[in-house]
Chains A and B, each alone.
Chain A
């Protein structure tokens, strides 16, 4: 099974996200991962990862919504560059995985760190701490990225 990433762009207004989520629920569209980001230009972007076999239909269904101003595909190469951010609480005393991190807060027993990286890098870091019993908690953003190219509404293409 190959997966595809799709970005839907919505205006930041009440009900827009609810309509998109409602469409996904009503049409039983299988989404594996989803992240939502503000673009800063009055829009939000919803990034979805799903099986490639259903991605065409998802694009078509979402394009039918009045609130969805754009649906675009993320190329494989670009998708591989997707980034995530995680904030983790790590017990002191263990060793550190080979990732770049920034310490946000330290106490006698715990360190709160921020890591950005690919999903696999973050998976690896969290697994590393977890294996040592050092992971006290974490929160992840999900994958975010800038869409490679936008296509006109209703004309999503790979």
Chain B
């Protein structure tokens, strides 16, 4: 029997789960744990400058690596600062474990200094929260937390540890063992898979919709094979963009609010839609009652709670795609669907967002144009790209050509501005051999720019591109379109990002001309460590196509003809 204190037990339990990195910020109520961490080999701690960023970094680590990310915070404000990061991870099914310090057990409920009921506060944004009451429970709770975070639909789990429990001496009477994934996913019945296959086999105009679940299940290549042998067009959601190459002949692109016309029309004209690992959320489906008019819908998902929330599928196939997709694939026959492809071709390119009409041809540097150049570079490499939230996020999604699974990371469900920089730190730590790019707007970047200090202290070689238009661009676009151009609180000033980066110790450049983009991107790529480029772009460029909120997918708003003329 070995005697350890709670902090040491936590460290041992984390190591038993294969944890190698933690992202956190210490404080009074978590000090015993940090003291144990100081004495523990094999656990790297990345000191983030804000707990929200610690949660995003754990999130980025998990998205990039497929392992569980871990973040640590102290009690009270440290713990409450995690909330946005936990909600971000929950919406996008990212497995993270958050460890929080808590005031001593005897002080709970007394409004003690830095006390907050973080288990209660985070109930809506976690899969579960554990409050540790006995030091000997720590190994069991940690094992359960990791198993729960990984299992079923992955997500965040919180462990709240009172300070006295961290300091208490516990006994380890058993070895730490990694627990198997909790078996809470029902075995999928063969009948539903057979019905799904029958629908696809009988389809004349099928579409496959691919979401992040395909990446999580590791079945990207199987989806590609299935699509190719059935000659079925593929639509990829924002979080599924790295599951299927955008330059594949069967790729229709991204659906929904800023999706391609081909994707949206394909969905509307389809007679069978096979959804694989996506939530059919409102930004993807538009007006729910008009989604896929006339289509018979099959929904594969790991969670029985997801199908039916927004649209009603005819067939639900519940289970891990790694299990259900091969069984489905065996029942699906090869097909050609030549008439369907001829029909799809009539929409092709008419509203392709990569068409030059979508960005000004002359005048100041266009945001889409700058992002296109960046996307082309990234597409030629194995880089991971982490985008923030807003116009640049949509432009990059529209411009990216091909990406390996887990190489395009973004906050899709919660749409968390400020996500990109800290999440990229996590991704770069998880994948030190890969280049990691941050693409953020000037608004979102300012929400977590303090993490530049983390980048420098930890020597994390991020390449950071700020798409700087002086606006909260998507807000401004909606105000232009739907509020008669009343730009209420959407113009935003920022610092001199080059001077700011240099103050933190990063080399940085800015560019505001079309001709200069390649040059500064070359300069950034020549730097071995972290570097930043400020892309000073046209202020009022819009993202097109656009399906207004609450409209059907075929009610697209298209751009006005380019009014900017050559000088």
Contact = CB atoms under 8 A, between A and B. Distances in A.
B123 A15 contact: yes
B308 A63 contact: no
Contacts, number: 44
Interface string B178-190: 0000001110000
A60 B123 contact: no
B299 interface: no
B120 A56 contact: no
Interface string B112-140: 00000001100110011101000000000
Given A66-B148, A67-B128, A155-B186, A57 B308 contact: yes
A57 B309 contact: yes
B305 interface: yes
B152 to A, nearest CB: 7
A70 to B, nearest CB: 12
Interface in A6-61: 14-15, 18-19, 22, 26, 56-57, 60-61
Most buried by B among A18, A56, A60, A65: A60
A57 B128 CA distance: 20
Given A18-B120, A22-B123, A155-B186, A66 B128 contact: yes
Contacts of A57: 305, 308-309
A64 B120 contact: no
Nearest to A54: B308
A64 B124 contact: no
A26 B153 contact: no
A26 B184 contact: no
A28 B124 CA distance: 13
A63 B123 contact: no
User: Number of contact residues on A: which range applies?
Assistant: 10 to 19
B129 A15 contact: yes
Nearest to A58: B305
A64 B308 contact: no
B119 A154 contact: no
A113 B184 CA distance: 46
Contacts of B309: 57
B184 A153 contact: yes
A54 to B, nearest CB: 10
A153 B308 CA distance: 19
Nearest to B128: A66
Contacts of A66: 127-128, 148
B26 interface: no
Contacts of A63: 184, 304-305
B140 to A, nearest CB: 14
Interface in A115-158: 152-155
Nearest to B148: A66
Given A61-B305, A66-B148, A26 B124 contact: yes
A17 B303 CA distance: 22
A60 B128 contact: no
Contacts of B128: 19, 65-67
Interface in B260-312: 303-305, 308-309
B102 to A, nearest CB: 14
B304 A60 contact: yes
A59 B60 CA distance: 32
Interface of A: 14-15, 18-19, 22, 26, 56-57, 60-61, 63-67, 152-155
6 contacts: A61-B305, A63-B184, A63-B304, A66-B128, A152-B186, A155-B186
Interface of B: 119-120, 123-124, 127-129, 131, 148, 152-153, 184-186, 303-305, 308-309
